[in-house]
């Protein structure tokens, strides 16, 4: 009898193919708090690739809120919120978030990915249509894949192409019952913004819903960091579901959606990621509430992250680097080839700078880059050191 291959052998073979093509992720170990100067793999480096835009993960008010709530309520919620784990802190967080977002209602999830995976598949079914930006986040793409709805893609940020797709959808027979336009607010690989005002206008012309994933806009854009809907002076009658996450500028963990009461009630009755997962620990909920408090009372954090972003962006452009279409504290340093992006990341690492190479399939094969993410606590000295390291590496690799 012929010996059968081990069931996992092909997994190792596939991983090796990724390594051979320089497409694998190489994990580094963060051995300190997530701060601009941190310890990774035993080495003190300047962090340039954290989502912790406002450095709130170490803010004393937020840390103390987590400790106090854990001591009072315990380490875990004890159940799904849908059963016996819907704690006072969860409800308070939902209310505080809605107020912060200037929305009638909000609902928090365990992660931002789970918000997209839970809500999007329930919005449309057979006889419906999702219309999605070509560069939307993978969690949006996976959410759409979980439905039987039809799907259409419009070119990245191209509202003329979106209008064309919507006009074609109007002619579909039988007529679509529901149409939802899905878009990132800030596109996480390029740092550019969705043209949300124009998207909302096109949606209104066709009676479609608008769902925006604002994971990288919250805490950075809008009035006091309230996000992209605020940035464009829109409301819940124009952008019907605003999704976000507490794991980036808020400095904690968790996802959420905001909209009207119908959106909230529908979501917690239909989203299986919400219904079938344990409630976030009370300490996490309390920390998220404290993060909202900080954003409402300490506007200097948002102001400073933009100052650092503008300083770094200008210096890199003056050196001749291609910084893509950045409009936010996400600044891509374009390298083109995946191997070259990894080589540049290794070079700046040797100079004490941690910048993450982003390669295929996260981006197109010829669009590899180092994604730099600026934060509030970066000092001018740290930024200058990083800029100098990029200059050295860029010249060595003929990028500038």
Contact 219, 53 (CB under 8 A): yes
Q: Is 139 a known active-site residue? A: no
Tell me if 233 sits within 8 A of 195, measured CB to CB.
Answer: no
Catalytic residue among 188, 271, 326, 338: 188
What structural domains does the chain harbor? Answer: 25-53+299-396 (3.90.1150.10), 58-297 (3.40.640.10)
pLDDT tens sequence across 139-153: 999 999 999 999 999
The catalytic residue among 248, 301, 342, 378 is: 248
- Condensed to tens digits (0 to 9), the pLDDT of residues 155-185 reads 999 999 999 999 999 999 999 999 999 999 9
pLDDT surpassing 80 at residue 23? no
What pLDDT, on a 0 to 100 scale, did the predictor assign at position 255? 97
Active-site residue among 90, 157, 216, 367? 216
Residue 26, CA distances (Å) to 18, 223, 340 in order: 11, 38, 15
Question: Residue 314: its pLDDT value, please?
Answer: 97
pLDDT band at 362 (very low <50, low <70, confident <90, very high): confident
Ramachandran angles phi, psi of 46, nearest 5°: -90, 120
Q: Give the whole-angstrom CA distance, residue 302 versus residue 222.
A: 10
Name residue, tokens 């419906």.
128
188 is catalytic: yes
- Alpha helices (H) in the chain, listed in sequence order: 9-20, 60-73, 88-100, 112-123, 138-145, 159-170, 196-206, 228-231, 261-270, 272-275, 282-297, 300-319, 338-350, 380-396
389 — phi, psi (to 5°)?
Answer: -65, -40
| Catalytic residue status for 148 | no
pLDDT, average across residues 339-347: 93
């Amino acid at each position: 009898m012929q010996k059968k291959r081990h069931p996992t052998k092909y997994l190792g073979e596939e991983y090796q193919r990724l390594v051979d093509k320089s497409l694998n992720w190489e994990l580094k170990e963060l051995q300190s708090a997530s701060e601009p100067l941190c310890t990774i793999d035993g080495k003190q480096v300047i962090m340039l690739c954290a989502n912790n835009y406002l450095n709130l993960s170490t803010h004393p008010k937020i840390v103390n809120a987590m400790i106090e709530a854990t001591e009072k309520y315990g380490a875990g919620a004890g159940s799904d919120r849908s059963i016996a784990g819907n704690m006072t802190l969860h409800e308070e967080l939902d209310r505080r978030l809605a107020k912060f977002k200037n929305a009638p209602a909000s609902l928090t999830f365990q992660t931002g990915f789970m918000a997209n995976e839970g809500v999007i598949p329930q919005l449309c079914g057979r006889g419906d249509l999702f219309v999605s930006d070509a560069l939307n986040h993978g969690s949006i793409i996976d959410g759409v894949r979980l439905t039987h709805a039809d799907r259409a893609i419009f070119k990245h940020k191209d509202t003329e192409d979106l209008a064309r797709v919507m006009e074609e959808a109007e002619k579909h027979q039988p007529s679509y019952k529901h149409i939802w336009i899905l878009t990132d607010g800030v596109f996480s690989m390029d740092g550019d913004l969705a043209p949300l005002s124009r998207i909302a206008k096109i949606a209104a012309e066709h009676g479609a819903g608008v769902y925006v994933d604002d994971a990288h806009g919250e805490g950075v854009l809008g009035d006091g960091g309230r996000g992209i809907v605020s940035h464009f002076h829109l409301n819940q009658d124009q952008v019907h579901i605003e999704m976000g996450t507490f794991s980036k500028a808020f400095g904690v963990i968790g996802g959420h959606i905001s909209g009207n009461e119908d959106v909230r009630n529908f979501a917690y009755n239909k989203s299986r990621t919400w219904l079938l997962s344990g409630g976030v620990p009370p300490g996490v909920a309390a920390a998220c509430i404290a993060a909202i408090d900080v954003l409402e009372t300490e506007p200097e954090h948002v102001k400073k992250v933009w100052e650092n972003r503008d300083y770094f962006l200008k210096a890199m452009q003056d050196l001749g680097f291609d910084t893509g279409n950045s409009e936010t504290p996400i600044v891509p340093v374009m390298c083109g080839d995946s191997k070259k992006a990894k080589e540049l990341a290794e070079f700046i690492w040797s100079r004490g700078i941690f910048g993450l190479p982003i390669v295929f399939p996260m981006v197109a094969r010829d669009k590899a880059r180092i994604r730099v993410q600026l934060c509030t606590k970066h000092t001018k000295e740290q930024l200058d050191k990083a800029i100098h390291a990029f200059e050295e590496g860029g010249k060595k690799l003929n990028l500038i």
